[in-house]
Amino acid sequence: QLQLVESGGGLVQPGSSLRLSCAASGFNLGYVTTGWFRQAPGKEREGVACIRITDASTYYTSSVRGRFTISRDNAKNTSYLQMNSLTPEDTAVYYCAAGRGCLQDGMDYWGKGTLVTVSS
Instruction: Specify whether the CB–CB gap between 48 and 60 falls below 8 A.
Output: yes
- Cα 25 to Cα 4: distance, rounded to the nearest angstrom: 7
For residue 2, what pLDDT is reported? 86
- How many CB atoms lie under 10 A from the CB of residue 10? 12
Instruction: Specify whether the CB–CB gap between 8 and 1 falls below 8 A.
Output: no
Of 45, 8, 42, 38, which Cα lies nearest the Cα of 23?
8
- Could you read off the pLDDT of 40-87 as tens digits, one per residue? 999 999 999 999 988 889 999 999 999 999 999 999 999 999 999 999
What DSSP state is assigned to residue 80? E
Which residues are 118's β-sheet partners?
12
Instruction: Specify whether the CB–CB gap between 12 and 118 falls below 8 A.
Output: yes
Whether residue 1 is predicted with pLDDT greater than 90 in this model: the reply is no
Instruction: Specify whether the CB–CB gap between 79 and 21 falls below 8 A.
Output: yes
* Average pLDDT, rounded, for the chain: 96
